[in-house]
Every structure is written in C-alpha cells, then in structure tokens.
Amino acid sequence: MSLAIKVFLLFLLVESSIALYRPDPNEKQKKYLDQSEIDYIRILRETVRGWQQEADKKYGIYSLSTSTNYMNRSLFLQDKVRGYVQLWGEWKNHQGYPYGDLRNKVHGNLWPMQYDYCRQYEGTNLLTYLMYGLSAEADMV
C-alpha cells in the first residue's frame, strides 16, 4: 500500500511541476515573420525596380538608341543580378533554402507584374540572368 501512495505522490509531483504555457492576451503575438511568410518575390520585384531606376539615372531612359548605351546598361544590370544571386547563395547556404522555388516563381510572379514597367528586351535579359544564376545556385546547371 505504501508503494501505491509513493507512486501516486510521485505522479502528483511530476504533474504539478510541468509548466503550462498560457499566452498573455495583452502581449503582441508575433514580433517576427516566419520564413514561410516572407514574400521574397515582392522583395525581388522591388529590388529589380530599384536596379532599373538606378540604370535610368545612370544611362538615361531615352538615350538607348545607341548600341553603346544599350550594352552598358545591360552589363550594369547583369552585374546587379550577379551580385544579388551571390548574396542569395551565401544567405541560402547559412539559412537553408527557405524559398526553394524562387527561380520557378521568377517567371510566373515577377514578370507579369513587371511587364508594364519593364522594357521587353530588358525583361528578357534580367529574366535570363536571374534564372541562370538561381539555377546555378541550386546546382541545376
């Protein structure tokens, strides 16, 4: 009988020591974003717009009639994409690959939204650079 009492007391001791989490209703629930909630396509879209605006300031919007300006602008944008892909690769190697299908979403989500804003030849070049770079980061090429 004493063994049963000891086991029962041990059970009560263990059960009472287990903490029960009760969230504070006055506290803000989320102070950070989960990896799945970060909209990488929106971030990338804004980044590409920034690159294009920077290229517009540097090379002019209407002075692309000469092949030199077109080539310089394309090389400028290619360098920006290359830097972005390298940063993405470094971050991915430290964080895992939280948004593994970014390269798949570039074509479906980025360019339909950018179509009115982005010149066709520039969109093709940027899309090619991004797809190739992100595929290389994922060891697909």
How many structural domains compose the chain?
1
For residue 118, tell me if it sits in a domain.
yes
Residue 33, in any domain of the structure: no
Q: How many CB atoms lie within 10 A of CB 30?
A: 7
Going by C-beta distance under 8 Å and a sequence separation of 6 or more, which residues neighbour residue 122? 52, 73, 74, 77
Is 24 contained in some domain? no
Is-above-0.85 flag for pTM?
no
91 in a structural domain: yes
pLDDT over threshold 70, residue 46: yes
Does the residue 31 lie in any domain?
Answer: no
Mean pLDDT of the chain: 66
Per the domain annotation, does 1 fall within a domain?
A: no
Mean of pLDDT values over 27-54: 69
pLDDT digits (tens, 9 = 90+) for 97-132: 544 555 555 555 555 444 455 555 566 666 666 666
Cα gap 4→11, rounded to integer Å: 10
- More confident site: 64 or 17: 17
**Structural domain that includes position 86:** 40-137
> Is 55 part of a structural domain of the chain?
yes
Task: Confirm whether 49 is domain-assigned.
Answer: yes
